[in-house]
Amino acid sequence: MKLVFATHNKNKFSEVKRLMPEHITLLSLDDISCLDDIPETGDTLEENAKIKADYVTKKYNLPCFADDTGLLVDALNGQPGVYSARYAGPQKKADDNMNKLLFELKEKQERNAHFKTVIVLNLNGEQVIFKGKVEGEITLEKQGVQGFGYDPIFKPKGYSTTFAQLSVDLKNKIGHRGKAINQLITYLQTDPHAKQ
């Protein structure tokens, strides 16, 4: 079965591909020659994921899923949230985003935060939603070189290191995206329509 993951992010695609069972051929937007930067104009993570999945399904007529992930910081009233990827501007640079977040938290003792991922799957005329969440806190400085995005400044609850210091397999096991993707995979393996 061929399934499109609506992303241009090579790190994210690689992370998700590791989790997929062998009978599913995962394709990125680049693989289907979709070079468009699909606008994320929704007010919620769910709306953005739906916009991306629907765009691919309508334009290419392919089964597709899309995700949107946000980092929600308690002391910043849930910011950057839906704007996580472009928190420091439209250039969507991880270092810029992390630097801005660390600056915003400079004087704050409260550093609790959580990551949330919402996945929208379009398959055989049906739309299904999956969600994953992980609690943690924002560190005082960047630590680690693994991962991407805010990983170097997010320490998951129960761990003494950041996501960027964990192996990809462990991050997939305990992380927000991994939890949502595993729900998606379970659905694909148990839904009879998904095997067509």
pLDDT tens per residue across span 110-140: 999 999 999 999 999 999 999 999 999 999 9
Q: Is the pLDDT of residue 196 over 50?
A: no
For 79, the domain range is 2-195
Q: How many domains does the chain have?
A: 1
Question: Quick check: helix, strand or coil at residue 10?
Answer: helix
C-beta of residue 148 within 8 angstroms of C-beta of residue 12: yes
Structure tokens at 125: 């005329």
Q: What CATH number does the domain containing 14 carry? A: 3.90.950.10
Structure tokens at 66: 């899309």
Distance CA 37, CA 49 (A): 13
Which residues have a catalytic role annotated? Answer: 68
Q: Measure the CA dihedral 166/171/176/181, to 10°.
A: 160
What is the separation of C-alpha 89 from the centre of its chain, rounded to a whole number of angstroms?
19
The verdict on pTM exceeding 0.85 is yes
